[in-house]
Structure 1
Amino acid sequence: MEQGEDFSRDRLKLLFIRHAESVGNVERRMQGHADYELTARGRQQARQLAERLWAKGQPPSKVYSSPLKRAAQTAEILLAQRTSEPVLHPISIPTIEPTIEYAEELLEFQNGIFKGLTWDEARERYPELCADLEASPDWIPAPGAETLQDGRDRAERFIQRVLATHCNGETLWIVTHSWILQHLIAAMLGSDRTWHCSTKNTAVFEFWLERSRWTLPSNNPNRWNSDLWHIRRFNDTSHLQEF
Protein backbone atom coordinates (compact mmCIF):
# COMPACT_ATOMS: atom_id res chain seq x y z
CA MET A 1 0.00 0.00 0.00
CA GLU A 2 1.35 3.44 -0.95
CA GLN A 3 1.04 6.08 1.76
CA GLY A 4 0.24 9.67 0.91
CA GLU A 5 1.89 13.01 1.48
CA ASP A 6 1.78 12.80 5.28
CA PHE A 7 3.84 9.61 5.14
CA SER A 8 6.35 11.39 2.90
CA ARG A 9 6.80 14.29 5.33
CA ASP A 10 7.16 11.99 8.33
CA ARG A 11 10.27 10.21 7.11
CA LEU A 12 13.96 10.96 6.95
CA LYS A 13 14.92 10.62 3.27
CA LEU A 14 18.45 9.67 2.29
CA LEU A 15 19.46 9.86 -1.37
CA PHE A 16 22.85 8.27 -2.01
CA ILE A 17 24.23 9.42 -5.37
CA ARG A 18 27.29 8.31 -7.30
CA HIS A 19 29.21 11.20 -8.86
CA ALA A 20 28.86 12.03 -12.56
CA GLU A 21 31.32 10.87 -15.22
CA SER A 22 34.91 11.99 -14.60
CA VAL A 23 38.00 12.22 -16.76
CA GLY A 24 39.37 9.26 -14.80
CA ASN A 25 36.28 7.19 -15.65
CA VAL A 26 36.75 7.85 -19.37
CA GLU A 27 40.43 6.97 -19.17
CA ARG A 28 39.57 3.81 -17.20
CA ARG A 29 41.82 4.76 -14.30
CA MET A 30 41.70 3.35 -10.78
CA GLN A 31 41.01 6.79 -9.42
CA GLY A 32 41.04 6.24 -5.67
CA HIS A 33 41.96 9.56 -4.09
CA ALA A 34 43.36 10.93 -7.37
CA ASP A 35 41.45 14.12 -8.12
CA TYR A 36 39.81 14.12 -11.55
CA GLU A 37 37.29 16.66 -12.76
CA LEU A 38 33.99 15.93 -14.47
CA THR A 39 33.83 15.58 -18.24
CA ALA A 40 31.40 17.66 -20.29
CA ARG A 41 29.20 14.57 -20.43
CA GLY A 42 29.46 14.26 -16.66
CA ARG A 43 28.32 17.83 -16.13
CA GLN A 44 25.34 17.13 -18.35
CA GLN A 45 24.55 13.96 -16.38
CA ALA A 46 24.57 15.99 -13.16
CA ARG A 47 22.27 18.61 -14.69
CA GLN A 48 19.85 15.91 -15.85
CA LEU A 49 19.72 14.44 -12.35
CA ALA A 50 19.28 17.89 -10.80
CA GLU A 51 16.31 18.62 -13.04
CA ARG A 52 14.71 15.33 -12.02
CA LEU A 53 15.27 15.86 -8.30
CA TRP A 54 13.99 19.43 -8.23
CA ALA A 55 11.02 18.62 -10.49
CA LYS A 56 10.00 15.74 -8.22
CA GLY A 57 9.89 18.02 -5.21
CA GLN A 58 12.92 16.59 -3.44
CA PRO A 59 14.93 19.67 -2.42
CA PRO A 60 17.54 18.82 0.18
CA SER A 61 17.77 20.21 3.68
CA LYS A 62 21.49 19.40 3.46
CA VAL A 63 23.96 17.96 0.96
CA TYR A 64 26.91 15.77 1.96
CA SER A 65 29.70 15.17 -0.52
CA SER A 66 33.08 13.57 -0.84
CA PRO A 67 35.67 16.36 -1.10
CA LEU A 68 37.17 14.88 -4.29
CA LYS A 69 36.52 17.06 -7.36
CA ARG A 70 34.34 14.59 -9.27
CA ALA A 71 31.92 14.34 -6.35
CA ALA A 72 32.16 17.97 -5.21
CA GLN A 73 31.47 19.27 -8.73
CA THR A 74 28.49 16.92 -9.00
CA ALA A 75 27.08 18.19 -5.70
CA GLU A 76 27.60 21.81 -6.73
CA ILE A 77 25.75 21.28 -10.01
CA LEU A 78 22.89 19.51 -8.22
CA LEU A 79 22.40 22.49 -5.93
CA ALA A 80 22.90 25.15 -8.58
CA GLN A 81 20.47 23.65 -11.10
CA ARG A 82 16.96 24.78 -10.23
CA THR A 83 13.98 23.73 -12.31
CA SER A 84 11.35 26.23 -13.44
CA GLU A 85 8.65 23.59 -13.12
CA PRO A 86 6.46 23.63 -9.99
CA VAL A 87 7.38 20.99 -7.45
CA LEU A 88 4.89 18.35 -6.39
CA HIS A 89 5.09 19.07 -2.66
CA PRO A 90 5.85 22.77 -2.15
CA ILE A 91 5.43 22.43 1.61
CA SER A 92 8.60 20.30 1.74
CA ILE A 93 10.87 23.03 0.34
CA PRO A 94 13.28 24.14 3.08
CA THR A 95 13.19 27.79 4.07
CA ILE A 96 16.97 27.80 4.65
CA GLU A 97 19.25 27.47 1.62
CA PRO A 98 20.86 24.01 1.77
CA THR A 99 24.63 23.83 2.17
CA ILE A 100 27.24 21.25 1.20
CA GLU A 101 29.30 19.54 3.89
CA TYR A 102 32.39 17.78 2.58
CA ALA A 103 32.83 14.55 4.51
CA GLU A 104 36.06 12.54 4.57
CA GLU A 105 34.05 9.37 5.22
CA LEU A 106 32.62 9.64 1.71
CA LEU A 107 36.00 9.49 -0.05
CA GLU A 108 36.57 6.74 -2.59
CA PHE A 109 38.73 3.70 -1.80
CA GLN A 110 42.25 4.73 -0.88
CA ASN A 111 44.01 2.34 -3.28
CA GLY A 112 47.65 2.97 -2.44
CA ILE A 113 50.17 2.33 -5.21
CA PHE A 114 47.36 1.88 -7.77
CA LYS A 115 46.16 5.49 -7.37
CA GLY A 116 45.39 6.97 -10.78
CA LEU A 117 46.76 4.05 -12.81
CA THR A 118 45.06 2.10 -15.57
CA TRP A 119 45.19 -1.67 -15.16
CA ASP A 120 47.71 -1.92 -18.00
CA GLU A 121 49.95 0.60 -16.27
CA ALA A 122 49.62 -1.30 -13.01
CA ARG A 123 50.55 -4.57 -14.71
CA GLU A 124 53.65 -2.94 -16.15
CA ARG A 125 54.76 -1.47 -12.81
CA TYR A 126 53.69 -4.28 -10.46
CA PRO A 127 53.49 -7.48 -12.55
CA GLU A 128 53.68 -9.97 -9.67
CA LEU A 129 51.05 -8.28 -7.54
CA CYS A 130 48.69 -7.87 -10.50
CA ALA A 131 49.16 -11.52 -11.46
CA ASP A 132 48.25 -12.54 -7.89
CA LEU A 133 45.17 -10.31 -7.96
CA GLU A 134 44.01 -11.77 -11.27
CA ALA A 135 44.52 -15.34 -10.06
CA SER A 136 42.53 -15.15 -6.82
CA PRO A 137 39.07 -13.89 -5.79
CA ASP A 138 40.36 -13.28 -2.26
CA TRP A 139 41.26 -9.82 -1.00
CA ILE A 140 44.95 -9.07 -1.46
CA PRO A 141 45.98 -5.71 0.01
CA ALA A 142 47.99 -3.34 -2.15
CA PRO A 143 50.83 -1.42 -0.50
CA GLY A 144 49.57 1.86 0.92
CA ALA A 145 45.89 0.99 0.47
CA GLU A 146 43.21 0.98 3.13
CA THR A 147 41.64 -2.32 4.13
CA LEU A 148 38.11 -3.51 3.51
CA GLN A 149 37.48 -3.09 7.23
CA ASP A 150 38.69 0.52 7.01
CA GLY A 151 36.13 1.23 4.28
CA ARG A 152 33.28 -0.45 6.10
CA ASP A 153 34.19 1.32 9.36
CA ARG A 154 34.07 4.79 7.82
CA ALA A 155 30.79 3.96 6.08
CA GLU A 156 29.35 2.91 9.43
CA ARG A 157 30.64 6.11 11.05
CA PHE A 158 28.99 8.25 8.40
CA ILE A 159 25.63 6.50 8.68
CA GLN A 160 25.66 6.79 12.46
CA ARG A 161 26.60 10.48 12.26
CA VAL A 162 23.76 11.21 9.84
CA LEU A 163 21.23 9.36 11.96
CA ALA A 164 22.39 11.17 15.09
CA THR A 165 22.14 14.58 13.39
CA HIS A 166 19.00 14.47 11.24
CA CYS A 167 15.34 13.74 11.88
CA ASN A 168 12.04 12.96 10.18
CA GLY A 169 10.98 15.46 7.51
CA GLU A 170 14.52 16.11 6.24
CA THR A 171 15.90 15.12 2.83
CA LEU A 172 19.63 14.55 2.40
CA TRP A 173 21.57 14.25 -0.85
CA ILE A 174 24.77 12.25 -0.32
CA VAL A 175 27.23 12.39 -3.23
CA THR A 176 29.97 9.81 -3.18
CA HIS A 177 31.82 7.07 -5.12
CA SER A 178 31.04 3.55 -6.31
CA TRP A 179 33.26 1.53 -3.95
CA ILE A 180 32.37 3.30 -0.71
CA LEU A 181 28.75 3.51 -1.86
CA GLN A 182 28.53 -0.29 -1.62
CA HIS A 183 29.72 -0.12 2.00
CA LEU A 184 27.29 2.71 2.79
CA ILE A 185 24.35 0.73 1.45
CA ALA A 186 25.41 -2.38 3.38
CA ALA A 187 25.74 -0.30 6.55
CA MET A 188 22.35 1.32 5.91
CA LEU A 189 20.71 -2.09 5.56
CA GLY A 190 22.52 -3.57 8.58
CA SER A 191 24.08 -6.28 6.42
CA ASP A 192 27.09 -8.17 7.74
CA ARG A 193 28.36 -8.46 4.15
CA THR A 194 29.13 -5.83 1.53
CA TRP A 195 27.49 -6.70 -1.78
CA HIS A 196 28.84 -5.73 -5.20
CA CYS A 197 26.58 -3.52 -7.27
CA SER A 198 27.52 -2.23 -10.71
CA THR A 199 26.67 1.44 -10.42
CA LYS A 200 26.49 3.93 -13.27
CA ASN A 201 27.45 7.57 -12.86
CA THR A 202 24.73 9.61 -11.07
CA ALA A 203 22.83 6.47 -10.03
CA VAL A 204 20.49 7.13 -7.08
CA PHE A 205 19.72 4.91 -4.09
CA GLU A 206 16.86 6.37 -2.06
CA PHE A 207 15.90 5.26 1.45
CA TRP A 208 13.07 6.54 3.62
CA LEU A 209 13.06 5.69 7.31
CA GLU A 210 11.10 6.49 10.42
CA ARG A 211 13.98 8.07 12.32
CA SER A 212 12.27 8.24 15.71
CA ARG A 213 11.95 4.44 15.74
CA TRP A 214 15.34 3.59 14.23
CA THR A 215 16.90 2.70 17.60
CA LEU A 216 14.16 0.34 18.74
CA PRO A 217 15.55 -2.56 20.80
CA SER A 218 16.28 -5.78 18.94
CA ASN A 219 13.28 -7.57 20.47
CA ASN A 220 10.79 -4.92 19.30
CA PRO A 221 8.73 -6.35 16.40
CA ASN A 222 8.64 -2.98 14.64
CA ARG A 223 12.25 -3.51 13.59
CA TRP A 224 10.73 -5.91 11.04
CA ASN A 225 7.84 -3.61 10.18
CA SER A 226 8.52 -2.71 6.55
CA ASP A 227 6.04 0.18 6.71
CA LEU A 228 8.73 2.05 8.66
CA TRP A 229 11.65 1.51 6.27
CA HIS A 230 11.31 1.95 2.51
CA ILE A 231 13.73 1.50 -0.38
CA ARG A 232 12.22 3.93 -2.88
CA ARG A 233 14.87 3.74 -5.60
CA PHE A 234 17.82 1.41 -6.04
CA ASN A 235 20.52 2.11 -8.63
CA ASP A 236 18.13 4.38 -10.54
CA THR A 237 19.51 6.07 -13.68
CA SER A 238 16.21 6.74 -15.46
CA HIS A 239 17.18 10.40 -15.77
CA LEU A 240 19.95 9.30 -18.18
CA GLN A 241 17.73 7.42 -20.61
CA GLU A 242 18.68 9.74 -23.47
CA PHE A 243 22.40 8.97 -23.07
Structure 2
Amino acid sequence: MSDHAHDLRALREATDRLLTAVAKMDDAVLAEESHLPGWTRGHVLAHLSRNADALVNVLEGRPMYESAEARDADIERDSARPLDEQLADLGNSAARFTAASDADQDWSRTVELRNGVTDLASNVPFRRWVEVDLHHVDLNIGYGLADLPAEFTDREIAFLADRWSGRADVPPVTLTATDRDGTWRTGGTEGAPVAVSGPAAELLAWLAGRGDKGAALTATDGALPALPPL
Protein backbone atom coordinates (compact mmCIF):
# COMPACT_ATOMS: atom_id res chain seq x y z
CA MET A 1 0.00 0.00 0.00
CA SER A 2 1.30 3.45 -0.89
CA ASP A 3 2.41 5.89 1.79
CA HIS A 4 -0.47 8.33 1.28
CA ALA A 5 0.89 10.80 3.84
CA HIS A 6 4.19 11.03 1.97
CA ASP A 7 2.39 11.43 -1.35
CA LEU A 8 0.14 14.14 0.02
CA ARG A 9 3.20 16.13 1.09
CA ALA A 10 4.78 15.67 -2.35
CA LEU A 11 1.48 16.65 -3.98
CA ARG A 12 1.33 19.89 -2.02
CA GLU A 13 4.85 20.76 -3.16
CA ALA A 14 3.91 20.00 -6.78
CA THR A 15 0.74 22.07 -6.45
CA ASP A 16 2.70 25.00 -5.04
CA ARG A 17 5.12 24.79 -7.99
CA LEU A 18 2.22 24.78 -10.40
CA LEU A 19 0.38 27.68 -8.76
CA THR A 20 3.57 29.76 -8.68
CA ALA A 21 4.20 29.10 -12.37
CA VAL A 22 0.61 29.75 -13.44
CA ALA A 23 0.55 33.06 -11.53
CA LYS A 24 3.28 34.32 -13.90
CA MET A 25 1.11 33.74 -16.98
CA ASP A 26 -1.34 36.19 -18.54
CA ASP A 27 -4.60 35.86 -20.45
CA ALA A 28 -2.89 35.84 -23.84
CA VAL A 29 -0.50 33.06 -22.85
CA LEU A 30 -3.39 31.12 -21.33
CA ALA A 31 -5.21 31.03 -24.67
CA GLU A 32 -2.25 29.57 -26.56
CA GLU A 33 -1.82 25.88 -27.39
CA SER A 34 -0.49 23.48 -24.80
CA HIS A 35 1.51 20.35 -25.53
CA LEU A 36 -1.76 18.39 -25.65
CA PRO A 37 -3.31 18.32 -29.14
CA GLY A 38 -6.50 20.35 -29.32
CA TRP A 39 -6.13 21.84 -25.86
CA THR A 40 -5.10 25.36 -24.93
CA ARG A 41 -3.35 26.01 -21.65
CA GLY A 42 -6.78 27.05 -20.39
CA HIS A 43 -8.10 23.56 -21.13
CA VAL A 44 -5.25 22.01 -19.13
CA LEU A 45 -5.94 24.22 -16.11
CA ALA A 46 -9.69 23.60 -16.31
CA HIS A 47 -9.03 19.86 -16.40
CA LEU A 48 -6.75 20.07 -13.36
CA SER A 49 -9.38 21.93 -11.33
CA ARG A 50 -12.20 19.57 -12.28
CA ASN A 51 -9.96 16.53 -11.68
CA ALA A 52 -9.32 17.70 -8.12
CA ASP A 53 -13.07 17.85 -7.51
CA ALA A 54 -13.52 14.48 -9.21
CA LEU A 55 -11.01 12.88 -6.85
CA VAL A 56 -12.84 14.45 -3.90
CA ASN A 57 -15.87 12.54 -5.20
CA VAL A 58 -13.81 9.35 -5.24
CA LEU A 59 -12.60 9.81 -1.66
CA GLU A 60 -16.12 10.58 -0.49
CA GLY A 61 -17.70 7.58 -2.20
CA ARG A 62 -19.40 9.27 -5.17
CA PRO A 63 -18.90 8.59 -8.89
CA MET A 64 -15.74 10.31 -10.10
CA TYR A 65 -17.61 12.09 -12.92
CA GLU A 66 -21.32 12.29 -13.71
CA SER A 67 -20.46 11.03 -17.20
CA ALA A 68 -17.70 11.25 -19.79
CA GLU A 69 -19.78 13.83 -21.65
CA ALA A 70 -20.24 15.96 -18.53
CA ARG A 71 -16.50 15.78 -17.81
CA ASP A 72 -15.62 17.01 -21.30
CA ALA A 73 -18.30 19.70 -21.22
CA ASP A 74 -17.05 21.06 -17.89
CA ILE A 75 -13.49 21.32 -19.21
CA GLU A 76 -14.66 23.08 -22.36
CA ARG A 77 -16.88 25.44 -20.35
CA ASP A 78 -14.07 26.44 -18.00
CA SER A 79 -11.25 26.59 -20.53
CA ALA A 80 -11.77 30.19 -21.73
CA ARG A 81 -11.86 31.86 -18.32
CA PRO A 82 -9.37 34.66 -17.58
CA LEU A 83 -6.23 33.89 -15.61
CA ASP A 84 -7.48 35.23 -12.29
CA GLU A 85 -10.49 32.91 -12.39
CA GLN A 86 -8.41 29.92 -13.48
CA LEU A 87 -5.84 30.54 -10.74
CA ALA A 88 -8.50 30.93 -8.03
CA ASP A 89 -10.27 27.76 -9.16
CA LEU A 90 -7.01 25.83 -9.29
CA GLY A 91 -6.13 26.86 -5.73
CA ASN A 92 -9.64 26.38 -4.32
CA SER A 93 -10.12 22.95 -5.89
CA ALA A 94 -6.69 21.87 -4.59
CA ALA A 95 -7.75 23.02 -1.12
CA ARG A 96 -10.95 20.97 -1.38
CA PHE A 97 -8.89 17.89 -2.26
CA THR A 98 -6.58 18.56 0.69
CA ALA A 99 -9.56 18.86 3.05
CA ALA A 100 -11.03 15.60 1.77
CA SER A 101 -7.72 13.76 2.09
CA ASP A 102 -7.17 15.13 5.60
CA ALA A 103 -10.50 13.68 6.78
CA ASP A 104 -10.51 10.40 8.70
CA GLN A 105 -10.95 7.49 6.32
CA ASP A 106 -9.90 3.93 5.55
CA TRP A 107 -6.98 4.30 3.17
CA SER A 108 -6.85 0.53 2.62
CA ARG A 109 -10.31 0.38 1.01
CA THR A 110 -10.92 0.00 -2.71
CA VAL A 111 -12.31 3.00 -4.59
CA GLU A 112 -13.69 3.34 -8.11
CA LEU A 113 -12.23 5.75 -10.65
CA ARG A 114 -13.22 6.33 -14.30
CA ASN A 115 -14.39 3.63 -16.68
CA GLY A 116 -14.74 1.02 -13.97
CA VAL A 117 -11.07 1.23 -12.92
CA THR A 118 -10.54 0.48 -9.24
CA ASP A 119 -7.61 1.18 -6.93
CA LEU A 120 -6.74 1.49 -3.27
CA ALA A 121 -7.67 4.78 -1.67
CA SER A 122 -4.03 5.12 -0.58
CA ASN A 123 -3.02 5.44 -4.24
CA VAL A 124 -5.32 8.40 -4.94
CA PRO A 125 -2.84 11.05 -3.68
CA PHE A 126 -0.20 9.73 -6.07
CA ARG A 127 -2.71 9.72 -8.92
CA ARG A 128 -3.42 13.38 -8.20
CA TRP A 129 0.32 14.10 -8.03
CA VAL A 130 0.63 12.56 -11.50
CA GLU A 131 -2.11 14.85 -12.80
CA VAL A 132 -0.50 17.96 -11.33
CA ASP A 133 3.10 17.33 -12.35
CA LEU A 134 2.53 15.82 -15.82
CA HIS A 135 0.01 18.50 -16.75
CA HIS A 136 2.43 21.15 -15.47
CA VAL A 137 4.74 19.81 -18.17
CA ASP A 138 1.86 19.82 -20.68
CA LEU A 139 1.32 23.55 -20.14
CA ASN A 140 4.53 24.21 -22.10
CA ILE A 141 5.66 27.06 -19.87
CA GLY A 142 9.23 25.98 -19.16
CA TYR A 143 8.72 22.98 -16.87
CA GLY A 144 9.86 19.85 -18.68
CA LEU A 145 10.02 16.12 -18.10
CA ALA A 146 13.66 16.45 -17.03
CA ASP A 147 12.54 18.86 -14.27
CA LEU A 148 10.26 16.30 -12.61
CA PRO A 149 11.43 14.94 -9.23
CA ALA A 150 13.39 11.70 -9.66
CA GLU A 151 11.08 9.85 -7.28
CA PHE A 152 8.06 10.90 -9.31
CA THR A 153 9.66 9.88 -12.62
CA ASP A 154 10.69 6.45 -11.35
CA ARG A 155 7.31 5.74 -9.79
CA GLU A 156 5.39 6.87 -12.85
CA ILE A 157 7.59 4.73 -15.10
CA ALA A 158 6.82 1.76 -12.83
CA PHE A 159 3.10 2.58 -12.88
CA LEU A 160 2.92 2.87 -16.66
CA ALA A 161 5.12 -0.18 -17.18
CA ASP A 162 2.67 -2.14 -15.05
CA ARG A 163 -0.21 -0.73 -17.09
CA TRP A 164 1.17 -2.24 -20.30
CA SER A 165 2.28 -5.51 -18.68
CA GLY A 166 0.55 -8.59 -20.00
CA ARG A 167 -0.72 -6.80 -23.10
CA ALA A 168 -0.64 -9.09 -26.12
CA ASP A 169 -0.36 -6.07 -28.43
CA VAL A 170 2.92 -4.94 -26.80
CA PRO A 171 6.05 -7.14 -27.10
CA PRO A 172 8.05 -7.91 -23.96
CA VAL A 173 10.20 -4.88 -23.18
CA THR A 174 12.97 -4.25 -20.67
CA LEU A 175 13.48 -0.58 -19.80
CA THR A 176 16.84 0.59 -18.44
CA ALA A 177 17.61 4.12 -17.23
CA THR A 178 21.09 5.20 -18.23
CA ASP A 179 21.28 8.16 -15.86
CA ARG A 180 20.55 6.25 -12.64
CA ASP A 181 19.91 2.75 -11.31
CA GLY A 182 16.53 1.72 -12.66
CA THR A 183 15.17 -1.23 -14.64
CA TRP A 184 11.54 -2.03 -15.43
CA ARG A 185 9.71 -4.64 -17.51
CA THR A 186 6.52 -4.26 -19.48
CA GLY A 187 4.58 -5.72 -22.39
CA GLY A 188 3.43 -9.23 -23.07
CA THR A 189 5.19 -12.58 -23.10
CA GLU A 190 5.07 -13.45 -26.79
CA GLY A 191 7.66 -12.37 -29.34
CA ALA A 192 11.28 -11.37 -29.21
CA PRO A 193 12.14 -9.25 -26.15
CA VAL A 194 13.09 -5.63 -26.85
CA ALA A 195 15.67 -3.82 -24.70
CA VAL A 196 15.02 -0.07 -24.48
CA SER A 197 17.46 2.27 -22.75
CA GLY A 198 17.97 5.98 -22.20
CA PRO A 199 17.55 8.72 -19.60
CA ALA A 200 14.65 8.16 -17.20
CA ALA A 201 12.88 11.28 -18.48
CA GLU A 202 12.96 9.86 -22.00
CA LEU A 203 11.61 6.51 -20.82
CA LEU A 204 8.73 8.37 -19.19
CA ALA A 205 8.18 10.40 -22.35
CA TRP A 206 7.75 7.19 -24.36
CA LEU A 207 5.47 5.47 -21.87
CA ALA A 208 3.30 8.56 -21.32
CA GLY A 209 3.24 9.75 -24.93
CA ARG A 210 4.88 13.06 -24.02
CA GLY A 211 7.62 15.20 -25.50
CA ASP A 212 9.38 13.52 -28.40
CA LYS A 213 7.85 10.19 -27.27
CA GLY A 214 11.20 8.58 -26.64
CA ALA A 215 12.91 9.55 -29.88
CA ALA A 216 16.25 9.70 -28.02
CA LEU A 217 15.91 6.16 -26.66
CA THR A 218 17.88 3.20 -27.94
CA ALA A 219 16.10 -0.06 -28.80
CA THR A 220 17.74 -3.38 -29.68
CA ASP A 221 15.94 -3.63 -33.03
CA GLY A 222 16.32 0.06 -33.82
CA ALA A 223 12.65 0.91 -33.43
CA LEU A 224 10.52 1.47 -30.33
CA PRO A 225 7.47 -0.77 -30.06
CA ALA A 226 4.15 1.00 -30.54
CA LEU A 227 2.15 1.54 -27.37
CA PRO A 228 -1.66 1.76 -27.17
CA PRO A 229 -3.05 5.21 -26.31
CA LEU A 230 -3.33 6.05 -22.61
- TM-score range for the pair, normalised by the shorter chain length: under 0.3
Q: Which has the higher strand share?
A: 1
Tell me the TM-score normalized by structure 2. Answer: 0.24
Q: Which has the higher helix share?
A: 2
Structure with max Cα Rg:
1
Tell me the TM-score normalized by structure 1. Answer: 0.23
